[in-house]
Amino acid sequence: MENKKQLSPEGISEPESYYFELQASWGLTKHMGGLNATRELIELCYIDKDSYVLDVGCGVGITACHITKEYGCKVVGIDLSEMMVKRSKERAKRKGVEDKVEFRVGDAQDLPFNDGVFDAVICESVVAFPKDKQKVVSEYARVTKPGGYVGMNEVTWIKTPPPELVEYLSHAMANVEFLTSDGWKELLEGSGLTDIVVRTYKTNALSQWINEIRELDFRDYSRAWYRFLPMYIKSPALRSWIKEIWLPPKSVFHIFKYFGYGIYVGRK
């Protein structure tokens, strides 16, 4: 392990973390539906200037900085990856919101907060990754104040996918496991949340690509190549992972036939 770490300038160490570490290095994390979906989540969780908000799996801090800037409220972003947290802090500084938004490393499965602290706990494309999804959503409910909201945006199967597609995505995307809208809804119900709202959407490659370009920080992106190339050259494990995901099953080219995204909100 230590050996592998030395191969990478920014600490890429295990195949499961390549997906996130490369995204952090590119300065871009994503969720389906882009800013429009984020706005919908904010609205359904009744976030305003007085809210205290937790953004779990904050990635490079795009949503946390956006909420702080637009609504003027206090936001905490946490992420499992140290590099994501570093990128988030850099973003907050660039956006001039570092006094209102705080970023720290933390695990969604064991949130480092007392019970009933936040008015809203949100996450975008996060619960799909940890194994114990019910534990994660129960943690969200635990740290939410009575009367507060838990809101998630998660990739959602809208048609049964071929098994090879499920397997490919899991390997390429850090053991990801998507659910149907019923599956996501059951997690909110299983955490004792009420007044549940479920909205599912289809999307397509073009609109996803446009969302990503809009949110991309071009300085981060160009710097990423300088970070990525030495990692690629020095790490055989990274090269072999890239080679494997380079040849996807044919169903990947029709992926939007099988999945879209859903906004899922419940009240404590």
Ligand X SMILES: C[S@@+](CC[C@H](N)C(=O)[O-])C[C@H]1O[C@@H](n2cnc3c(N)ncnc32)[C@H](O)[C@@H]1O
Binding interface with ligand X (CB under 6 A): 20, 29-31, 56-59, 62-63, 79-81, 84, 107-109, 124-126, 129-130
Residue whose CB is less far from ligand X, 108 or 137: 108
Residue whose CB is less far from ligand X, 151 or 161: 151
> Tokens 């710097």, residue?
223
Q: How far is the CB of 241 from ligand X (least distance, A)?
A: 17
Residue whose CB is less far from ligand X, 133 or 267: 133
> Tokens 């090269």, residue?
239
Taking the C-alpha atoms of residue 262 and residue 200, their distance in angstroms, rounded to an integer, is: 4
Neighbours of 177 (CB within 10 A): 16
Neighbours of 79 (CB within 10 A): 29
Q: How far is the CB of 262 from ligand X (least distance, A)?
A: 14
Q: How far is the CB of 175 from ligand X (least distance, A)?
A: 10
Residue whose CB is less far from ligand X, 62 or 73: 62
Q: Are 58 and 78 in contact (CB under 8 A)?
A: yes
> Tokens 């809101």, residue?
151
Q: Where are the beta strands (DSSP E) in 17-164?
A: 52-56, 74-79, 101-105, 118-124, 144-157
Residue whose CB is less far from ligand X, 80 or 92: 80
Q: How far is the CB of 66 from ligand X (least distance, A)?
A: 10
Residue nearest to ligand X (CB): 59
Q: How far is the CB of 143 from ligand X (least distance, A)?
A: 13
Q: Is 120 helix (H, G, I), strand (E, B) or coil?
A: strand
Q: Which two tokens stand for residue 197?
A: 């709202």
